[in-house]
Structure 1
Amino acid sequence: MGQTTPPSAEQIRAARIEYAKLRERDLADKLGITEAQLIAAHTGQGVTHIAPHPDTIMGIASQLGEVMALTRNVSCVNEKVGSYANYTSGAHAAMVLNDKIDLRLFPSHWRHAFMVEKETETGLRRSLQVFDAAGDAVHKIFLRDAAFVPAWDAARSEAALSEQPTHLELAARAPTEAAKSNPEKLNLLQSEWSKMTDTHQFMRLTSKLRMNRLGAYRIAGAPFVRPLATGAIDRMLHDVQAAGIEVMVFVGNRGCIQIHTGPIETLKPMGPWQNVMDPGFNLHLRLDHVAEVYAVDKPTQRGKAVSVEAFDADGGLIFQVFGVRKDDYDSRPQWRAIVDALPALAPEAVA
């Protein structure tokens, strides 16, 4: 818009009417604001501020029956249908774990939350929406069953905060951490990697060696990591679809990781997006954002955990795909065969 001063709440509401068909994220980008600012501008007009802690949000969600859970980053969106049963609270990490909704929640990034009612072409849409300190979406929950509207209304009345501002004070967006390698520690990285007994030990290992995930992948080498061509991501999705096997698809941001466990049945490309459009599970992936891809092999007590992981040009993790653990084994021969057949990165492309 060419403005140096952020638009007022009144201007934001007017723009939403003018560009009614735009998605919230796209309209926010057009206005040069964040999604959280766009939502807050409608406070009192279908928007209610509530406490942003996962205990509050999960408590409400658990009363709403079958809902749609959405977690995204800039390049990938994971949408799952299910209920918010089996929530476990935690000061640093919390989780929801059942056969449909599988989430890892990081409360320190849950800073703004709203109950939102918006008129759409199909009627009034109700959602819980959570944002981080910079105003970027962390997690969203969409009501699906009208039978739970009374529970929604009761929760909104009870959870509403005393202050309901139309303007938010936001922090600067933290930049994506660039790849951090420590070649002097390569031998130690490989030695400790080979001794892992659980995939969760990997992040502790890289932190101890003053690296991060992408930095470690860039230098680890065989047999731990194989750089793949960027086109391997789309190939992998098609191969999983053709094989009819189940996989685990991890999509996240700083505040939430959402996991789909199951098959990939229907792929529908549209422009730069590859889309999984299955009952109860949708995935929307910007293939043109994929800059680096790795096949990763981590040892565990249950066998080798093999993943395919994609990163964007800034070094941000887009998503990860693992084979589904069966019968207490992480190693899945069908998944391993798919990963082994994916095209490697051309030698001249390796930095």
Structure 2
Amino acid sequence: MTQHSPSDLRRLQAEETGRPVDLAAKLGVAEGALVAAQVGHGAIRIDPTLGRLFPAIQALGDVMALTRNRSCVIEKIGTYNNFHDGDHASMTLDPEIDMRMFPRHWVHAFAVEKATDAGIRRSVQVFDAAGDAVHKVHLRDSSDLAAWDALKRDLVAEDQSDSVEFGPRAPVEPARASADRADALRREWDDMTDTHQFNTLIHRQKMNRLGAYRIAGAPYVLPLAIDAVPALLERVQADSVGIMFFVGNMGCIEIHSGKIETLKPMGPWLNVLDERFNLHLRADHVAEVWAVHKPTKRGPAISVEAFDAEGALIFQCFGLRPEKGGDAEQWAKLVAGLPMLTEAVA
């Protein structure tokens, strides 16, 4: 990556009005380097250990939780309630802030205060070993500032240097499958009773998610047209369909459960702008879309899943479970009506 001193990065940030992630890409540095450069100038390093960090975030009350990958950003407003810690995976199980976290990717964390014309903006920002954003927490006007002060006091790290040696970013694994294992894949697919068994299944077959989709065939998966993505959001909104929308990266998955009220496309972006849920999706990044059917004890789990040109997962969308107010039949009909890839080619 390009070398810039912390003072250079502070100066360049002061001159920039766009998103930090875009500035980082333009400069050839990790986004985490921009935040680290602000240590001693409005930012402090804090302990990224989830078991310490999440109780302190919960105490902040109403905040905005942001998780993103290269193609999609999800923002949910709420409180980080019902945290469950774990060595390999952790979670929050609040109706609004519903997340799955993988602690080994929570490497660098900062408490950031930035002066703006609208006042001081406060946030917790977490990055992985490569300096890519894993998760961010943005305080709101109603957030508890005494709890914020306590978070900074209690979690402050010993190391308060303003630069970090980030490692290389892990490459995206392309689709991986073995055609001679297709029949074995389908047999094990038929035997699934829970969607969480899928990762174990494909690992056993020496495949990854996209590779398995490419060889499984109907009725397990159906290729959809790229236009199925905007059609999905439009129909979910128009028909008031309850969904579970998953957006994540290697370290964090954030989930919206509910409906879509306000959909506003703008250029390549598909935007959901609801009161306590925002979504920003680069439709031009979508290269493959699949309708996926998995058997479970509670009936078929049907999802729409989008991937970029390198094979990275952009999002997954399921129907909201019936016990949460969803309508399985309505969701199945919606997915069945999305444009197929063969229709687009024809």
TM-score (norm 2): 0.97
Superposition deviation, residue 5 in structure 1: 4.8
Is this contact kept in 1: 2:2–2:29, CA < 8 A? no
Aligned counterpart, 2:258: 262
Which of 156, 164, 167 does residue 163 from structure 2 map onto?
167
Aligned partner of 2:12: which letter? A
Aligned counterpart, 1:55: 51
Task: Please say which of residues 29-38 and 214-223 is displaced more in the overlay.
Answer: 29-38
Question: Is the counterpart of residue 123 in structure 1 residue 119 in structure 2?
Answer: yes
Superposition deviation, residue 56 in structure 1: 2.3
SS at match of 1:124: strand
Distance in 2, matches of 1:333 and 1:35, equals: 43
Which of 296, 306, 316 does residue 292 from structure 2 map onto?
296
Aligned counterpart, 1:340: 336
Is this contact kept in 1: 2:106–2:128, CA < 8 A? yes
Superposition deviation, residue 17 in structure 1: 1.3
Aligned counterpart, 2:237: 241
Return structure 1 stretches of 4+ with deviation > 3 angstroms: 327-331, 347-350
Which of 297, 304, 311 does residue 308 from structure 1 map onto?
304
Which of 190, 193, 200 does residue 197 from structure 1 map onto?
193
Deviations 1:46-74 (A, max 9, x none): 11101112122212111101000000000
Which of 80, 84, 87 does residue 84 from structure 1 map onto?
80
Aligned counterpart, 1:18: 15
Q: How many residues align?
A: 346
Is this contact kept in 1: 2:82–2:92, CA < 8 A? yes
TM-score (norm 1): 0.96
Q: 1:248 to 1:328 in 2, by over 3 A?
A: closer
Distance in 1, matches of 2:241 and 2:327, equals: 13
Q: 1:75 to 1:328 in 2, by over 3 A?
A: closer
SS at match of 2:32: helix
Is this contact kept in 1: 2:242–2:327, CA < 8 A? no
Aligned counterpart, 1:250: 246
Aligned partner of 1:51: which letter? D
Q: 1:181 to 1:147 in 2, by over 3 A?
A: closer
Q: 1:285 to 1:328 in 2, by over 3 A?
A: closer
Aligned counterpart, 1:136: 132
Is this contact kept in 1: 2:63–2:143, CA < 8 A? no
Aligned partner of 2:222: which letter? R
Distance in 1, matches of 2:125 and 2:36, equals: 11
Task: Please say which of residues 216-225 and 29-38 is displaced more in the overlay.
Answer: 29-38
Deviations 1:91-118 (A, max 9, x none): 0000000111100000011110000011
Question: Is the counterpart of residue 7 in structure 1 residue 4 in structure 2?
Answer: yes
Distance in 2, matches of 1:258 and 1:320, equals: 11
Distance in 2, matches of 1:107 and 1:159, equals: 16
SS at match of 1:167: coil
Aligned counterpart, 2:96: 100
Name the Cα RMSD after superposition: 1.6
Provide structure 1 residue ranges, at least 5 long, that are not aligned to the other structure.
none
Deviations 1:105-134 (A, max 9, x none): 000111100000112232111001100000
Aligned partner of 1:297: which letter? H
Which of 125, 145, 148 does residue 149 from structure 1 map onto?
145
Aligned counterpart, 2:218: 222
Superposition deviation, residue 327 in structure 1: 3.2
Provide structure 2 residue ranges, at least 5 long, that are not aligned to the other structure.
none
Is this contact kept in 1: 2:285–2:309, CA < 8 A? yes
Q: How many percent of aligned residue pairs carry the same amino acid?
A: 53
Distance in 1, matches of 2:327 and 2:165, equals: 47
Distance in 1, matches of 2:101 and 2:141, equals: 25
SS at match of 1:268: strand
Which of 23, 48, 66 does residue 27 from structure 1 map onto?
23
Distance in 1, matches of 2:146 and 2:206, equals: 51
Is this contact kept in 2: 1:303–1:331, CA < 8 A? no
Distance in 2, matches of 1:245 and 1:7, equals: 48
